[in-house]
Amino acid sequence: MKKILVACGSGIATSTVARNKLEEDLQDRGINMSQISMNQTSIPQIPSMASEYDVIVTTARYKEDVGVPVINGLSFLTGIGEDTAVDKIVEALEM
């Protein structure tokens, strides 16, 4: 099971939108979502949770090294560069 953590400022609003769009994009690529677990959190919680995940997607800039790939997911809100972000996530998950 691959694990994705989606983070935004509060862990509620924009991370929900990004998570839903990412899930839709992964399904559109034929990825079996039963093999992926996605959770949401706030940006400040990333360091304490990172080790439990394969990739982290944020809706805000995040530069801290937490030992797993951190991918900017702002494109899931704007639609600009969305395919590139999905490519990076799929690559990080090695799918």
Give me the pLDDT at residue 95, please.
63
Please tell me which residue in 4, 5, 7, 8 is annotated as part of the active site.
Answer: 8
> What CATH number does domain 2-93 carry, 1.10.287.130, 3.40.50.10490, 3.40.50.300, 3.40.50.2300?
3.40.50.2300
Q: Is the pTM of this model over 0.85?
A: yes
Q: Tell me: the pLDDT tens digits for 57-79?
A: 999 999 999 999 999 999 999 99
Q: What span, in angstroms and rounded, lies between the C-alpha atoms of 63 and 61?
A: 7
Domain boundaries, the chain: 2-93
Give me the pLDDT at residue 94, please.
87
> Could you tell me what percent of the chain has a pLDDT over 90?
97
Burial (CB < 10 A; 0-12, 13-18, 19+), residue 37, is: middle
**Does 8 participate in catalysis according to the annotation?**
yes
Ranges of the chain with pLDDT below 50: none
Q: What span, in angstroms and rounded, lies between the C-alpha atoms of 30 and 15?
A: 22
Give me the residues paired with residue 6 across strands.
Answer: 40, 57
